[in-house]
Structure 1
């Protein structure tokens, strides 16, 4: 069924039907309910191009990938976030567009997208501690949302984030309660805001316990399996190795587990491990009993929420800034236990 056929059947104009299906406030609730019921009954799904003509919108959401982070396209965390966002986009009749831009031409890339009417809004992912993209978009006064936050940006903007500091504070305290005193941190790149917040939580828990942080137990790099393996192998070779390791990624945790096995040690008995789990579709933390004790927060769910928040911003550009802070759940698995008695 086409938009015209549906509007003719209802005795309404195509514009009214389109606006009713897209939640525009000028359509009264009785008409909106009638249109939605007829669309559902006859299996009508709006065409994004037709909706664009009726509403003056492109019905496209943009994701700009900086050249320095093209690896994000094959990162399962990025993929799950996008999968969640696409689910929401589809429900609201939006399409999605990826584009790439050199780090030196980010502002031109965003400006071109909006001036050409190619997108109605953009999602900014992977913000750094000082994220210049936020100020660029804020100055342009265009709809956008940030997946994460930027400590160094003192501007109002829409964002959704996990409470990274709180989750790593709690995880470190859990290990301290098990008697661990030599706790290592295998973190992400610490110019990334999430990684800095996780480090801050880890350091705060150590400080509360009166334990001075040791630089040789704190590592920072891109979160790959090889990185987790290499850093764990190096730290286990220390004269006084860690009894517990806190890791910023389930991907790196696989490498950590491999290094522990290769050293002839048992995870959970000789070395306790806690990882951050984004509850990925293709990298599940075990079945009934989790493999890793983990701070868990679904990145797919974050994608759904972020997309809804951005669509609300597109519809109401002058509405007050909205933020959403998600709390991670501490899930106890087989990878943690009391600190071993080495003496």
Structure 2
């Protein structure tokens, strides 16, 4: 098959007008699906690489989607964020769409930055993460009818926008039941002080299960800490572990907190899990490489990113279609950081 060095050559080979071929390559809805597929197949076979600028003019789309990256501390050194962004980038690239990472300065307004990104016309849609209970970003994008998907849910409203989330509420109820069955009665819950919905969902799952047990011997020490303040996290962890009535089992809302908690506990002479059981959430790579290995919930980070990319592309292609919502069940990964309560150990 001859090589097509230009759009005109590809169009002549297919017996179509250059405008039709251009729109087909841009996945324009006005072009029949069979025609789009035929054009894409011929372009691949003939080695034709479309001109991105011309394609954008034909489709009215930029070929980019946006993701905000607040520079609050660890940036891409955050293992969760690193895996999430890598999977997003890979999935969009497979669909010939570029992921635009837009850094928000440490003291900058994420909402204002998002508004600028949207009004600039540089992106066709947005992937939102770190969703808050009352998230102004979600409200703004809904009002402007910008295609977007949210990794998480706002507090009381799960309709009128597309989202994907992992079921941390059920997961933390499951973690409580596991530890309670192993004899633990003094519990700790190490959380964050940001108004993030995932944190509240996980807290609610634990505290509802704790209260429903109706056991008068149960006690709970709940402590929150700042995510990006190293000294603040250290003080919160020390408070969680202080005193003779300290918890014998602690759930942390993220693996990062759980790993810091384990290190601090071991530094004071506590043995994990003989003296203290710890369970986290995310299943980041570090969870499998500490000693003992961290029992945690697999948040399916890459899977979430891949599905969110698919959802956003579908939303961009059909912005008036019904919103998609998905709640994924995280899998409990049993390692060695949890065990029987000290008084129940053999």
Q: Hey, what's the Cα distance between the residues in 1 that align with 2:153 and 2:306?
A: 17
Q: Hey, what's the Cα distance between the residues in 2 that align with 1:223 and 1:179?
A: 34
Tell me the CA shift for residue 12 of structure 1. Answer: 3.1
Asked whether 1:96 is paired with 2:99, we answer yes
Gapped runs of 5+ residues in structure 2? Answer: none
Query: Per-residue displacement from partner, 1:217-268 (whole Å, max 9, x unpaired)?
Result: 4334317776665544433331211111111222222212212221222212
Asked if structure 1 preserves the Cα contact closer than 8 Å seen for 2:125 and 2:146, the reply is yes
Asked whether 1:269 is paired with 2:274, we answer yes
Q: Which residue of 2 aligns with 1:317?
A: 319
Asked if structure 2 preserves the Cα contact closer than 8 Å seen for 1:290 and 1:332, the reply is no
Q: How does 1:74-93 map to 2 (within 5 A)?
A: 74-93=77-96
What is the aligned-residue RMSD (CA, Å)? 3.1
Tell me the CA shift for residue 48 of structure 1. Answer: 3.2
For structure 1, which segment, 143-152 or 230-239, has the greater mean C-alpha deviation from structure 2 after superposition? Answer: 230-239
* TM-score scaled by length of structure 1: 0.86
Q: How many residues align?
A: 339
For structure 1, which segment, 209-218 or 119-128, has the greater mean C-alpha deviation from structure 2 after superposition? Answer: 209-218
Q: Hey, what's the Cα distance between the residues in 2 that align with 1:279 and 1:47?
A: 39
Q: Which residue of 2 aligns with 1:16?
A: 20
Query: Per-residue displacement from partner, 1:57-85 (whole Å, max 9, x unpaired)?
Result: 11111223457x57555433222221111
Tell me the CA shift for residue 114 of structure 1. Answer: 3.5
Tell me the CA shift for residue 185 of structure 1. Answer: 0.9
Asked whether 1:51 is paired with 2:55, we answer yes
Query: Per-residue displacement from partner, 1:83-133 (whole Å, max 9, x unpaired)?
Result: 111112112221222335688865554444344321111122111111111
Q: Which residue of 1 aligns with 2:43?
A: 39
Q: Which residue of 2 aligns with 1:255?
A: 260
Identify which of 138, 143, 148 aligns with 1:144.
148
Structure 2 CA distance for partners of 1:216 and 1:56, relative to 1, 3 Å: same
Q: Which residue of 1 aligns with 2:244?
A: 239
- Give the 3-state SS of the residue equivalent to 1:99 in structure 2: strand
Structure 2 CA distance for partners of 1:155 and 1:132, relative to 1, 3 Å: farther
Asked if structure 1 preserves the Cα contact closer than 8 Å seen for 2:226 and 2:233, the reply is no
* TM-score scaled by length of structure 2: 0.85
- Give the 3-state SS of the residue equivalent to 2:121 in structure 1: coil
Q: Which residue of 2 aligns with 1:186?
A: 190
Q: Hey, what's the Cα distance between the residues in 1 that align with 2:48 and 2:193?
A: 47
Q: Which residue of 1 aligns with 2:136?
A: 132
Asked if structure 1 preserves the Cα contact closer than 8 Å seen for 2:295 and 2:335, the reply is yes
Asked if structure 1 preserves the Cα contact closer than 8 Å seen for 2:249 and 2:276, the reply is yes
